[in-house]
């Protein structure tokens, strides 16, 4: 079937995603969940041990998800329940999804959104026949206002299975990156904005510098660009000393008309930047990560 590639799953009822790294997986999942919450939909996440990583990314993105969890707008199905459901056979799984959708619509939600970890079904004897399950989703959804995102990340699914499962979807959700080596992921939300997720070390440090150089060049060439180049560090969990020093040096090389702004900086990264001279770099502004208050 012809495949449509989109960056917003709001337009598809049954989409798949094939992330190349865990960072991309959490990014895409958090965006899918957040879009549903913003639209007032009932969001269901089938967990199998990864919910903490999803919630951390939601926190990174500033998504207010704890209140919706308390109110039942965001439901997390525990791992043991997810594994039990996935072991019951394709018809049972489709029946459970069908019931979840009917129940949510009956409670007044305008739409339902479901995603989560189904890798268990491929790795356990007696699990759901994935091809049978995927082929049945469209029939189960019908024309009801429900959306399902099926995630087939390459760290957990074999390539031959991904190819077969991908072919059962009309729509694929993507999330372009400037760079992704499974340790560090760099995206570009805007012409002079970069976001890094993961870890910076000797293997990928030059990629960050290259991205900053490109963003600064764009800012200098455009009369309408902001004088600030923003590096969003909300999802940066680790950076080595040399990486912190390179950020300070990069700012010191900025012209007096422009500034490097580091946003969402975690406390551990902030302490390292301070020790590496960030407070003394005139063209550098460091904004700490917001703490608390997200509901």
d(CA 6, CA 130): 23
User: Are residue 69 and residue 165 in the same domain, yes or no?
Assistant: yes
Last residue of one domain, picked from the residues 149, 173, 197:
173
Cα-trace Rg, the chain = 21
User: Are residue 136 and residue 23 in the same domain, yes or no?
Assistant: yes
d(CA 140, CA 262): 46
Structural domain range at position 15: 4-173
> Please, how many CA atoms are within 13 Å of residue 104, restricted to the half-sphere of its CB?
25
Per-residue pLDDT tens, the chain, 295 aa: give them. Answer: 556 887 776 678 999 999 999 999 999 999 999 999 999 999 999 999 999 999 999 999 999 999 999 999 999 999 999 888 888 878 888 888 999 999 999 999 999 999 998 766 666 565 667 778 888 898 899 999 999 999 998 877 888 888 888 888 889 999 999 999 999 999 999 989 999 999 999 999 999 999 999 999 999 988 777 899 999 999 999 999 999 999 999 999 999 999 999 999 999 999 999 999 999 999 999 999 986 544 5
Quote the number of domains for the chain. Answer: 2
Last residue of one domain, picked from the residues 173, 200, 218:
173
Sheet of strand 184-190: strand arrangement: 179-180, 184-190, 193-200, 228-239, 259-265, 284-288
Residue 53: give its domain's CATH number. 3.40.50.300
d(CA 234, CA 198): 10
């Amino acid at each position: 079937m012809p495949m449509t590639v989109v960056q917003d799953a709001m337009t598809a009822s049954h989409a798949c995603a094939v992330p190349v790294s865990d960072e991309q997986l959490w990014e895409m999942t958090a965006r899918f969940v957040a879009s549903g919450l913003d639209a007032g939909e009932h969001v269901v996440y089938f967990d199998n041990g990864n919910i903490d990583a999803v919630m951390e990314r939601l926190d990174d993105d500033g998504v207010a998800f704890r209140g919706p969890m308390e109110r039942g707008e965001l439901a997390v199905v525990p791992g043991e329940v997810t594994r039990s459901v996935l072991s019951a056979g394709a018809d049972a799984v489709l029946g459970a999804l069908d019931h979840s959708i009917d129940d949510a619509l009956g409670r007044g939600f305008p739409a339902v959104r479901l995603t989560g970890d189904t890798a268990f079904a491929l790795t356990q004897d007696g699990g759901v026949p994935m091809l049978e399950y995927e082929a049945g989703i469209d029939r189960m959804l019908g024309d009801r206002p429900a959306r399902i995102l099926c995630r087939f990340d390459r760290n957990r699914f074999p390539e031959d299975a991904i190819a077969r499962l991908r072919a059962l979807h009309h729509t694929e959700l993507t999330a372009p990156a400037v760079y992704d080596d499974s340790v560090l992921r760099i995206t570009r939300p805007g012409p002079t904005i970069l976001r890094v997720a993961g870890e910076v070390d000797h293997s990928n440090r030059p990629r960050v510098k290259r991205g900053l150089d490109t963003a600064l060049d764009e800012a200098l060439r455009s009369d309408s660009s902001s004088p600030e180049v923003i590096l969003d560090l909300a999802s940066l969990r680790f950076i080595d000393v040399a990486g912190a020093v390179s950020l300070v040096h990069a700012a010191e090389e900025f012209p007096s008309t422009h500034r490097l702004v580091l946003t969402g900086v975690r406390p551990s990264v902030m302490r390292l930047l301070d020790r590496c001279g960030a407070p003394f770099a005139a063209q550098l502004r460091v904004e700490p990560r917001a703490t608390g208050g997200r509901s």
